[in-house]
A and B are shown apart, each in its own frame.
Chain A
Amino acid sequence: MPARPRRTRGWVGLSRTRAAAATSVTGALTLVAVAGCGSSSSGTTPAASTGASASSDSRTVDVVITSDGCAPAQTSYTSGPLTFKVSNKDATGVSEIELLSGERILGEKENLAPGFSGSFALALSAGDYTLYCPGASTEKTGLKVTGGTVTKAPTTTSALLAQGTKDYAQYVNTQVALMIENTQPLVDAIQKNDLTAAQAAYGKARPYYERIEPVAESFTSGKDNLDSDIDARADDVPAAEWTGYHRIEKGLFQDKSTAGLQAYATGLLANLKKLQSLTKDLTYQPAELANGAVGLLDEASKTKITGEEERYSHIDVLDLQANVEGSEQAFAALKPGLTNIDPTLTDTIATRFAAVDTLLDKYRSAAAIGGFELFTSLSKADTTAIAQAIQAVSEPLSQVAGKVVNS
């Protein structure tokens, strides 16, 4: 649905024409996860003591965060695998630490309240790095690595993220094609005045748009107000201008007739094809994917969980699941690169997405139009649980744009 008056944040939030930031990688810098367990970041635990004990191991970088800053035990280390052991002694305004190369985040540890410690591991080539603990008096402290280049040259984070945006562009194009393919039977059934077939086809046609809504929403100015033309609800636009999926929904599910819907059906299909021509060559920035992913969850928890979106057919759970799936796909495209930057955050988001998926699977119903139980059958406890599970994803997901924007 088109959000009014404020646009949902999404791809429109960032200039699509802006050049990719920091796509070049200095030759000296490479980054690999330390061999061993799959994740290169440990959990956060209450520290046994308030300060980290100094380590004699030269491969360990001990960092004690104080309200003054986050200086490492030594100012210089030799290249190769390094484990950063971080504890927060008394910095109540600091909850995380990042290792930066320039403005790029190479690794980080979050949830470090005073009294807690954690670690992350990286292989660093010779160069100048920065330990960054936002909120301390001195937020940035230099860290020098001497020696050579780490021999194993993995795919760089920026290359992984760039590949992710290409994968995502492909995903969008696939969804648009499927949307057209699945809207055609709806149009056909309406032309044949077959109400039952049209109602079933409506449910089959709906999820594609909801998966990629922020992309379509970016075409909202001038004569290409496609989001409104395709997905406006009754009160979003003046009655005379109301067209698209929900106008058809009203006819099929409230008026229970295909009468007068033919023009809307052919108009919808034409608009979908226009959308296809506008989106097929789009390229995206990693931060746009991150913001779009959050925007989709906003959609889910704003209009789907209230039953406002599909007010005649009540197939809101299908739309909601499609919003979540689209958000998860955008996240999945960023995941390989994001894992390099922040494996813990990546795991947290993935785990919480999985929890939402599991929760929504409970409402699948093969017999229902759209494949999910109708919104009207959900209790307040059901909608609360879904909304809370989505919020649990949104919070860490909202951190992603800031992590990938300079990578």
Chain B
Amino acid sequence: MVAGGAGYGIAAATEDDHSGSAAAEQWAFYGSHQAGIATPAQDKLAFAAFDVTSSAVDDLQAMLGAWAAAASRMTAGLPVGSVETLPQSPPVDTGEALGLPPASLTITVGFGPTLFDDRFGLESRRPAALADLPALPGDALDPTRSGGDLCVQACSNDPQVAFHVIRNFARIGRGTAVMRWSQLGFGRTSTTSTTQATPRNLMGFKDGTNNIKSEDSAAMDRFVWVGDETDQPWMRGGSYLVSRRIRMLIESWDADYLADQQNVFGRAKDTGAPLNGTQEFDKVNLTAKTASGELVIPAEAHIRLASPDSHGGQKILRRGYSYTDGNDPTTGQLDAGLFFIAFQKDPRKQFVPIQQLLGRRDALNEYIKHVGSGVFAVPPGVSAVGDWFGKSLFR
């Protein structure tokens, strides 16, 4: 992997990397952008939203500082603090990641709209782009799986390494913040680098073939990174994260016939090719018609309605994960689907209009339900030791 020109870089794999495996790969924590956005999507996700319970801004700052210190260590494969403490004191690190390589761990922290209420004196610092998401067509949101003052996205190729982050962040935050909801993702559904193959979602389709690739720095600057256009200088170099817990009605989907499944997506199930082509990366042709004059990619197909061509060229960087949380106690059906994560410059111009169209018309709506939602301002990267998540927000 190469660092590229972005504000992150891969640190040299540890010198004593005996295995030489990808698991030992390590991303630099400090940089102009937070890692976990442009870095290639890892295989596993542990995500959590927190609510701040302390009303003291000092507590919030101390926690964000302690999180940054802990993140700098965990992303380097180090425990957050001593495990060998005095016999009468609890270990500082919880220990389950001891000896495990970071496996490309990235830790990304964001601030929800509610952090900018009257508790911490941050009302005037709220970016206009961090607007509450409006009610969207087809929403079936559970408030206990939505919102939050803060979010933490931990991604790694080792699920235990990712979980270790959320657990230790929650512990560091005890008395200052509580976990509002959390989500594990067991497999990436997005490709964010040209080096990666497109994975399949739980519907069995290759999804996100035309995702923004981080190597395309012009697209990253145009669609993902906050620039000088922001009303809040502290957000320059940051991005906005939208999360949606999208439950798939898998049992219904599995009973749908192949041609319909393919028409719902607009792609062939096995190759991932658009219905107008034969290979996955063939250009999507939204105007192609059959001999009988019908659209090859149907009017309500997911790839048509999600296409930049349907949204004045707008795109989002998708970085979602498949999830399952056992089965639904009411129906016995699998509680599984997509934990959608997208990064963008301004959700008001990107995710929201895209989802407004999809929520109204997408053929996929018959098989999915949006049950959780969040929007978070992801501040720029932690520049160096001594800096911390969102430090410039509090100046």
Contacts and interface: CB of A to CB of B under 8 A. Distances in A.
B391 A352 contact: no
A9 to B, nearest CB: 11
Interface in A324-343: none
26 contacts: A43-B58, A45-B61, A46-B61, A46-B391, A47-B386, A89-B386, A92-B72, A92-B73, A93-B78, A93-B80, A95-B66, A95-B81, A114-B386, A115-B387, A115-B388, A134-B82, A135-B81, A135-B92, A291-B88, A388-B53, A388-B178, A392-B53, A392-B174, A398-B90, A399-B89, A401-B88
Given A50-B386, A95-B81, A134-B92, 19 more contacts: A46-B61, A46-B65, A46-B391, A47-B386, A92-B385, A93-B69, A93-B80, A93-B82, A95-B69, A111-B66, A113-B68, A114-B68, A135-B81, A391-B174, A394-B174, A396-B175, A398-B90, A402-B85, A402-B88
Nearest to A405: B88
A90 B90 CA distance: 24
A303 to B, nearest CB: 21
Contacts of B394: 46
Contacts of B85: 134, 402
Contacts of A348: 175
Interface string B78-99: 1111100111111010000000
A44 interface: yes
Interface in A311-360: 348, 352
A92 B66 CA distance: 8
B27 to A, nearest CB: 16
Contacts of A115: 65, 68, 385-388, 391
Complex A-B, nearest 10 residue pairs according to Cβ-Cβ distance, in ascending order: A402-B89, A113-B65, A392-B175, A395-B174, A401-B88, A115-B386, A90-B385, A92-B69, A113-B69, A402-B88
B62 interface: yes
A123 interface: no
Most chain A CB within 10 A, of B68, B78, B86, is at B86
B125 interface: no
B348 interface: no
Contacts, number: 94
Contacts of A45: 58, 61
A99 interface: no
B62 A352 contact: no
A67 B274 CA distance: 55
A116 interface: yes
Interface residues of B, number: 33
Interface in B240-258: none
Interface residues of A, number: 36
Contacts of A287: 88
Interface in B253-277: none
Interface in A109-133: 111, 113-116
A327 B53 CA distance: 22
A235 B80 CA distance: 40
Contacts of B65: 46, 113-116
B200 interface: no
B171 interface: yes
Most chain B CB within 10 A, of A50, A92, A394, is at A92
Contact of B171 (A111, A113, A134, A395): A395
Contacts of A47: 386
A350 to B, nearest CB: 12
A95 B63 CA distance: 11
Nearest to A351: B175
Contacts of B92: 95, 134-135
Interface in A374-407: 388, 391-396, 398-399, 401-402, 405
A395 B388 CA distance: 23
Most chain B CB within 10 A, of A46, A90, A94, is at A46
A19 B385 CA distance: 45
A114 B29 CA distance: 14
Nearest to B68: A113
B78 A90 contact: no
A386 to B, nearest CB: 12
A89 B69 CA distance: 11
B81 A114 contact: no
Given A93-B81, A392-B53, A114 B385 contact: yes
Contacts of A93: 69, 73, 78-82
B82 A113 contact: no
Nearest to B61: A46
Contacts of A402: 85-86, 88-89
B175 A395 contact: yes
Nearest to A389: B53
B98 to A, nearest CB: 14
Contacts of B62: 44, 111, 113, 116
Contact of A135 (B58, B61, B66, B82): B82
Contacts of B69: 92-93, 95, 113-114
A14 to B, nearest CB: 8
A115 B178 CA distance: 24
A396 B87 CA distance: 16
Contacts of B70: 92
Nearest to A387: B178
Nearest to B71: A92
Contacts of B53: 388, 392
Contacts of B171: 395
A352 B90 CA distance: 19
A349 B81 CA distance: 22
A47 B388 CA distance: 12
B69 to A, nearest CB: 4
